[in-house]
Amino acid sequence: MARRSKQSAAQGATAARNGRGAESQRQAEVLQLAAGLFARDGYNATTVRDIADAAGILSGSLYHHFRSKEAIADAILSAFLDEILGRYDEIVAADGSARETFEALATASLLAMEQHQEAIVIYQNDGRHLAQLERFAYLADAGRRFEQAWVGVLQRGVEEGEFRRSLEPGLTYRFIRATLWTVARWYRPGGSQSAQEIAEQYLSILLDGIARGKRKRAKD
């Protein structure tokens, strides 16, 4: 009797684990489908029914996995931001030279596309709107942390003589931000260039330029 009870308990625990595993897998599938819809159509234009239809379930069943559309977007964006900002913190803490830190930040940003391409597009397209909602207040903080990391390394590079003295860190950061994140709009996994190869090309352009010799300035 005791042996059967132990066996039943073990079987019950296994079934519970399998159930949780299946639930986690289904949630991951829903997040992936929703991320694609948000990136393609925009957060506001995508409905719960759109997500449910893509997942092949009823709208009511979707609420078994997530309480709201906001919860889905939150899960997508927070996963991306937690990972990339954690990587930024590691890079800055490594205390490499300004150029080494610059290269590492740019490479990390572009490699993030391999796992979070749709999240990057959502962040770019809908981040400003979503940041006005209480649930997404962390988006504004994320933006400040991105800027702090980039402006910090640019300022240090100027002060230490690795970057041009005429460089304006704030303006340069805005250019770099637009240059790096918009890659997610056209990048195709498995295409002619990998994310690493794109990173190498972008670093060559950003740090070495594309023209030979100095540019002639327009006369006043």
Q: What pLDDT score was predicted for residue 24?
A: 80
pLDDT in tens, 67-93: 999 999 999 999 999 999 999 999 999
C-alpha to C-alpha distance for 112 and 134, rounded to whole angstroms = 26
Domain residue extents for the chain: 1-66, 69-220
Task: Report the b/e string of 25-59 with b at 16+ CB within 10 A.
Answer: eeeeebbebbbbbbbeeebeebebebbbebbeeee
Span between the terminal Cα atoms of the chain, in Å: 97
pLDDT in tens, 160-203: 999 999 999 999 999 999 999 999 999 998 889 999 999 999 99
Six token digits for residue 146: 């991105």
Q: Is the pLDDT of residue 14 over 50?
A: no
Q: What pLDDT score was predicted for residue 22?
A: 60
C-alpha to C-alpha distance for 213 and 176, rounded to whole angstroms = 22
Do 88 and 149 form a contact (C-beta atoms < 8 A)? yes
Do 75 and 31 form a contact (C-beta atoms < 8 A)? yes
In 3D, which of 206, 198, 202 has the Cα closest to residue 164?
Answer: 206
The CATH code belonging to domain 69-220 is: 1.10.357.10
CA 99 to chain centre: 23
CATH number of 1-66: 1.10.10.60, 3.40.30.10, 2.60.40.10, 3.40.50.170?
1.10.10.60
Average pLDDT, the chain: 89
Query: Which amino acid, residue 147?
Result: E
Do 51 and 34 form a contact (C-beta atoms < 8 A)? yes
C-alpha to C-alpha distance for 216 and 24, rounded to whole angstroms = 59
Q: Is the pLDDT of residue 158 over 70?
A: yes
